[in-house]
Every structure is written in C-alpha cells, then in structure tokens.
Structure 1
Amino acid sequence: MKLSFATAILSLSLLSFLGAAGAAPAASKSAKVTKVVKATKVTKAKAKPSARQARKVRSVVLRRPAAFVPAVATFGMAAGLHAVDDPLALKSSVAYVLDQNTNEVLFSKNPQAVLPIASITKLMTALVVVEAGLSLDEKLTVTEEDIDTEKHTRSRLAVGTALTRGEMLHLALMASENRAANALGRHYPGGMSAFVAAMNAKAVSLGMADTHYAEPTGLSSRNQSSAKDLATLVNVTSQVPLLRDLSTSRETRVSLGKRLVQFRSTNGLLSNPLWDIGLQKTGFINEAGKCVVMQARMAGRQLIMVFLDSSGKASRIADAERVRKWLATQGDTATPSAKL
C-alpha cells in the first residue's frame, strides 16, 4: 500500500521525535514515547483509518541507491584524446577531412592516433577479396568457425547458410555482417592465415604504416589504424566500382532457407538527400567507440572523411553533419587553421 502525504509527514515527525528523545534519560524517554503513542491514538480515534496509518508508518523502508557502474573506456578515452578541443566541438576523438583530388587536409584532429577500427576493417577485407579475382558466384557456407567468440555478437546467418561470395561481400559491407566477413576470409586460397597476411601485405603496399590487421571482421581490438591510413584506404576502395555500389546500398533481400530476409545499411546518412556518398563503412566495438569513414561530394569537392572513437549513440553522424555544415559555410576558404 502507498503512503499518503499526511501519513508520510506523521511518520517523519515520529521518527524525528524518537531520534531526539534518544539523548534524554531512559525514564523521560519512556514517558515521551508514551505521550506520542497516546497522541497518535487520539488522532486515530478522530480519523477512522488510524490502524492502517500505524501499519503504514511501520512499513517505511529506506533503500540504498544502486551503485554507479562507469561505462567502459575506449582506447581513445584512456589516451586522453577526448580532452583535445577542436573548433567544431566534435564528439569524435579523431577526425580527418581530406580533399581527394588535391590531397589538401581541410580538418584534422589527432590524425596520428592509432586506435582500434572495428568494422572499418571490412573495407580491407573486401579489397583483398576483389583483388584476388575470386568468383563472386561461388557458394560459401557459414560454419561454426564463423561464430563470434570474441564479442559474442549475434547473426542472422545461421551455421549451414550458403550464399555466394558476392552476397557475402554485400552483407559484410552494407550490413556489417561479421559471419559473412569471416567466411570470406576462410574461403581465401590458403585459408584464414593467408587471408590476414594478404590484408597486412596490402596495407604495407599502400604505405599504411600505422595499420595492423588480426582478422577480417573488426571484432578484435588488435585491428588498428590511424585516420591518415584510413583515408588512404578509402581513397583506394572508392575507386573500385563494385565496392562503391555494395557499401552504399541501402538494403537487400537474401534468401535464407525458406525465408527472404531483409538486411539494411548501418549508415543512416545514405538516406539523407543532403549527402552524396560514394563509399562508406561504419564500425563499433567497445574499445573503438563509434566510427565511420566516407567518400562524399560536398561544397564542390570530392572529400574523404574519417571519424573515430565517437562517444554517443548517434554522435559520429552528428559530427559528420557538423563538418558538412562547416564546409558549406567555408566554401573554398577552408584552411589549415582548422587542423589540430
């Protein structure tokens, strides 16, 4: 039963009186308590529901507040990168905007920081698969080896699911399907170890000195890179028509057994008419925070944008919007003064 306002006031007065009486002699305290009890009885006699009120007073329970559990710190938070201010007050600890045609850096924040990159890894996964010239029509089967034992994420691709390499590539880039990406690596000539070696070899050939890959999904925090290296990767992958098309696809339907299952893009900006995106990839694990890389046309320029370790559910998209609006006001006057 809930306490009424009058009953709550009465109970607080009674508790306060008893607390004060504890400092007086025992006989005096007993007498005062008796008077309080009698006074309470008189009040109850006048007001019919007195017995209920007495029971309500005794039922008051004080509970300790729940202990506060702090959020898991990203690598960027641990390194103090979020403490770096920037002119646009971005929530991302790393930001990088590059003119793809002139290589002019228009905005830069902690560009040399090497951090986990989560599912942005899948851009390199896709690039290695395409450059290997493997058949996109070959059927690949999901096995127990593709189950995520790193972060224990779920997947709609059950063990035994058979899709073409092209479909796996589509789901990995558009919907960030981890089992699809892992299956692509397993079915590479020489197996997973050969595939990861090819990923790292490609990074070296592109001059991505800050980059290292441990597996093809991005679930491992050992997959790390810098904003400058990722800009290089976006520049290369954006020149592959298939990767442009698959990464910017908004949705697709895939036949999984007797069901036709719909998958959607993880990047809501693809549906925004203010954005003209040529290639994109999002990413998230606890160690990396929210991440996104894109190639997009805006303010009359072909740009590459990198946002890493963003704090907040939608902050990476909000940061991208801040940069878009800033560029719209700058026009051709965006200068290195925005660099940090």
Structure 2
Amino acid sequence: MKKLASIVVSIVLALVPMNMAFANENGTPMNISSKSAILMDVGSGQILYEKNAHDKLPPASVTKVMTMLLCVEALDSGKIKLEDKVQISDTAASMGGSQIFLEPGETQDVNSLLKGIAVASANDACVAMAEYVAGSVEGFVDNMNAKAKELGMKDTHFANTNGLPVDNHYTSAYDIALMSRELLKHESITKYLTTWMDQVVVGKKQVTVGLANTNKMVKHYQGTTGVKTGFTQEAKYCLSASAKRGDTHLVSATLGAETSPERFKDASNLLNFGFANYESVKLCSKDDNIATLTLDKAEDNKVNLVAKENLTVLIKKGGNKDFTRRIKVSENPNIPIKKGTVLGQVEVYQGKKMVGKVDLVNTKDINKASYLQMLQRVIDSML
C-alpha cells in the first residue's frame, strides 16, 4: 500500500470501561477440567481466559476446522461450487473412524461432502474434498500448514486432513481459536455447523445415511454457531465451540478432557463467563461506506471505500468510555486498481492503545481516465 494519510475522529459512545486483562488475573471464574483451554472474542481476537493455551497437543477431529476453512475459501472464491460432482477415490473410501460410508468410484456433490464433514465429522469426506480442492491429500495438507502460518498459528503442524492419529500432527487451544474465528467469518458455513440432524445418500445402491451433529451444544446451548468436536484415545475429548448473543460472538477451545460431558461443561462455563462479563460493540459493519478517496487520474475520480469486514470492540460491562477512530487512506495509489484492493484502514484507539482495526477496500474496479476526461477536468478547474 502507498503512504497513508490519516484522519482522526473522536467518537464518544455510551460504553462500558475497557478491560483487556485475562479473566484469570482476577481469580479463575470457573473450574476448567480440560488439559488446555481458551476463550476468545471472535470479533476482536481478544483473549478472555486461558489455561495452558499454547501447549502443543493432538486435536483429533477439531483438525477439520482447518479442512472446512480451506473448502469454504475455495467456494467463496469460485474455485469450486456446491453442485460440483466429486469422484470418490479408493483412498477416501478407505478412511476409518467417523464416516458417511463413501464407496470407491461413486460421485458426490460438494454440498453433501461438506455436510458430512461439518455435521458427522466424516473422515472419508475430508479426504474426498482434499483431493478435489488441491488435487491430492498431500497438496491439501501443505495448504493447511500454509494457512496456519498465515493466521499466526505458531503451535501447529498438520499431517492429515481429519485428525486421525499420526506423528507430527498437533495444535494448541490458542491456534484452534484462531482458525475457528477465521472459519466463522464465512457466513456460508453457518448452516452446516448448526445443523442438528440431516441425511445424505451414498454408495452405488443409494443408501440413505442419517447424520447427527457431534457438537451437542448445537441443540443445548443458546446462540450456538459451531464449530467442531474431536476424540481419539491419545487426544481425549476436544472441542471448539462458538456462540453469539447480540453482537457478542465468542469461541472457546478445550483440549484433553477426560470425558465428553466434561468438554461440553468446560465450553459452556467459558462461554457463560464471557457473556456474563463482556459485550461487543459494533463500530462499523462490513460494506459500510467509511471514506471517499479522490483520484484525479481515475475514470471515476471519487472512489468510495468500505469496511472489508465488521469492526467490533469488546468491552467489560460497566460505565462509559471514549474512543478515537483514525481513518487512513492511500495517497496516490497506482491505477488501474482491482475491486476489493486494500486502500485504507480504520483504527480504533482507547487512549494511546489501539483496540481494533479494519481494512478499507474499493467496491469496483478503478480504471485510468481517458485523455479527453483529463482535458475536461483541466477546463472545469479553470472555469
């Protein structure tokens, strides 16, 4: 991005005081039995509670959060479509553990495979989608690790797509929260993550297979938005669980619980603590018109810049606070410019501390002005 010019705007909101301290600095608010745990705000990434959050542990099927993220990114980019037909390989059909019993040589659409992953934690569907999206499981796993690096997941290395026991496959509660937060930004995945019961038709004999969501919080916890369970003998019971109430969207991750009820109890306690003590305030929504960029050499010399995504600030419940919004826009960017290019940023400060930011992008392609347009502008300015 070219050099940014900044505009500082003071905004006074009837908000509660900001408290960015970890919850356990004031005494642990709950008894978390899982080996590792974290509570994170989806909007801002703020950590509200952590316990051994960077311990590198096997995640079992919580791995599939990253698998789904790469699949939904491929969908949103137009690389693949929900109605695309995927031929099932011998490798995909041979996966054990949780599955939807795919058969070698049959075809399934992307919609059914994604449903199988999100609802029934299907290992065979993970491999089928990996092969379809990346051409091979190995290539897809490389993409998983590349995405983990991009998201700042420093405690993670993936060795497969589904979390079945294998050497050198690990992550942390913190990293699970990061990739879960990223997945939840894609609204198209919500219908899969929150489906309680469904079915798919598989095999050459077209057998109907019932699906029941492995994440019981979908049915039993108010506002649940996802995301994924996991279990192996080595990993024990793992869970990434998210919920939204009003504008407050939280995600908890727990690893290494001894029983399934314990992981759900831990996740519920974490989310309950977050909703009881914190709330998110939305400062702008995705696609809100934030600034106008003047480009004298562009075909349209006034360019609207909009928020690339929602901008929220997490605050502790209680009194009032002032926030400062600083808008930065590019100076003299090179034209032409493709739609969706980052041309600015909004930063929100509390005092001198930045507590949130969001990129600003253009809503349409920006092309160079013609010679006649430039000449007309010169004449207009003279008149």
Pair 1:232-2:178 in alignment: yes
Q: How far has the Cα of 1:264 moved from its partner?
A: 1.2
CA distance in 1, matches of 2:73, 2:36: 29
On the 8 A contact 1:248/1:277 being kept in 2, the answer is yes
Say whether 1:275 aligns with 2:217: no
Compute the displacement of 1:100 (Å): 2.4
Hey, what's the Cα distance between the residues in 1 that align with 2:244 and 2:81? 32
Q: Which has the higher strand share?
A: 2
8 Å CA contact 2:100–2:120 kept in 1: the answer is no
How many angstroms apart in 1 are the aligned matches of 2:102 and 2:183? 29
Residue matched to 2:214:
266
Cα drift, residue 104 of structure 1:
2.9
When residues 102 and 241 of structure 1 are mapped into structure 2, their CA distance, relative to the original with a 3 A threshold, is closer
Amino acid in the other structure paired with 1:314: P
Match among 139, 143, 149 for residue 194 of structure 1 = 139
Using the aligned pairs only, state the percent identity.
Answer: 27
Cα RMSD (Å): 2.4
Give a deviation string over 1:263-286, Cα, whole Å, max 9, x none.
1110111112x4212231111111
Q: How far apart, CA to CA, are the structure 2 residues paired with 1:121 and 1:193?
A: 15
- Cα distance in 2 for partners of 1:329, 1:236 equals 24
Question: Shift of residue 89 of structure 1?
Answer: 2.1
Residue of structure 2 in register with 1:155 after alignment: 99
> Corresponding residue for 1:121?
63
The 8 Å contact of residues 295 and 304 in structure 1, kept in 2 or not, is answered as: yes
Once residues 304 and 313 of structure 1 are traced to their aligned partners in structure 2, the CA distance between those partners, rounded to angstroms, is: 18
1:156 Cα deviation (Å)?
Answer: 3.8
In the alignment of these two chains, the number of paired residues is: 247
Normalised by the size of structure 2, how large is the TM-score? Answer: 0.59
1:295-328 deviations in Å (ceiling 9; x for gaps): 2125973212111111113211111222244445
Within a 5 Å distance, the mapping from 1:290-305 to structure 2 comes to 290-298=237-245, 301-305=248-252
Matched, 1:98 2:45: no
Q: 1:109 aligns with which of 51, 55, 66?
A: 51
Q: Distance in 1 between matches of 2:71 and 2:247?
A: 33
Q: Which moved more, 1:302-311 or 1:241-250?
A: 241-250
Distance 1:267 1:140, change over 3 A: same
- Structure 1 match to 2:188: 242
3-state secondary structure, aligned to 1:155: coil
Q: How far has the Cα of 1:329 moved from its partner?
A: 5.0
Contact 1:292 1:308 (C-alpha < 8 Å) held by counterparts: yes
Max radius of gyration: which structure? 1
Gaps of 5+ in 2: 1-26, 279-315, 319-383
Gaps of 5+ in 1: 1-84, 335-340
Counterparts of 1:283-294 in structure 2 under 5 Å? 283-294=230-241
Tell me: CA distance 1:94–1:299, structure 2 relative to 1, closer, same or farther (3 Å).
farther
Determine which structure has the larger helix proportion and give its number.
1
In structure 2, what is the equivalent of residue 215 of structure 1?
A: 160
Contact 2:250/2:274 (<8 A) preserved = no
Provide the C-alpha distance between the structure 2 equivalents of 1:104 and 1:153, rounded to a whole number of angstroms. 35
* Local SS of the residue matching 2:35: strand
Which of 198, 211, 223 is residue 252 of structure 1 equivalent to? 198
Decide which of 184, 194, 201 is 2:129's aligned counterpart: 184
For residues 191 and 145 of structure 1, what CA distance do their matches in structure 2 show? 10
Q: Distance in 1 between matches of 2:253 and 2:110?
A: 28
The match for 2:72 is: 130
Task: Give the corresponding residue for 1:71.
Answer: none
Query: Cα deviation per residue 1:153-193 (whole Å; 9 max; x = unaligned)?
Result: 26341423431122111111111001000111122343122
* 1:148, distance to aligned residue in structure 2 (A): 5.2
Does the C-alpha gap of structure 1 residues 299 and 108 become closer, same or farther in structure 2, counting only changes over 3 Å? Answer: farther
Q: Rate the CA distance shift 1:134–1:220 in 2: closer, same or farther, 3 A.
A: farther
